[in-house]
Amino acid sequence: MQKDFILITLADDDEDDRMFFTEAFDELKINTIVNTVNDGVALMNFLQAPETILPNIIFLDLNMPLKSGIECLKEIKSNTRFNDIVIAIYSTSSSEDDIENTFVLGANIYIKKPNNFGKLKEVLSEVVTLNWQYITSGLNKDNFLLRL
């Protein structure tokens, strides 16, 4: 069996959420290598460090101290070095305007934070599997929009 894997960076200031996500990733069929950062500033520092191997997907909490998810999204999208990274926003908000706005700003995925572990696993599995098809089948990432 080949060793496929997806590199994931998770930015969330809530320790419990970070734990839930990491555990959920561990249980997916596709292998994932996950690293976590605690806020937006840490995320940008991580991405800009020259020795960093850039992730395939960034999961970005909208509400973070120091630098919000939206600010990170804008910064990431304005740097061509990060063109290949898929951005998944997640939040407890489900306001239609918020959602459409993040897509317009360049997010690929919008996840309404599920309130139980089983559902979270399902959602993440869908994201990672679909992303895998984009990576392996040469689909156009600019058209990758997914709302869960």
Rule CB under 8 A: is residue 45 a binding residue for another protein?
Answer: no
- Residue 129 within binding range of another protein, rule CB under 8 A: yes
Tell me if 30 sits within 8 A of 128, measured CB to CB: yes
Tokens 């998810």 locate to 69
Is residue 30 a contact residue for another protein (CB under 8 A)? yes
**79 near another protein, rule: CB under 8 A:** no
Phi, psi torsion values for 118, nearest 5 degrees: -60, -45
Least CB distance to another protein at residue 96 (A):
9
Instruction: Give strand pairing partners of 8.
Output: 34, 57
- Pick 41 or 135: Cβ nearer another protein: 135
- State which of residues 50, 95, 97, 104 lies at the interface with another protein (CB under 8 A): 104
> Contact, 120 vs 20, CB < 8 A?
yes
Residues 146, 130: contact at Cβ < 8 Å? yes
| Contact pattern from residue 47 through residue 66 relative to another protein, giving x for each residue in contact according to CB under 8 A and a dash for the rest | ------x-------------
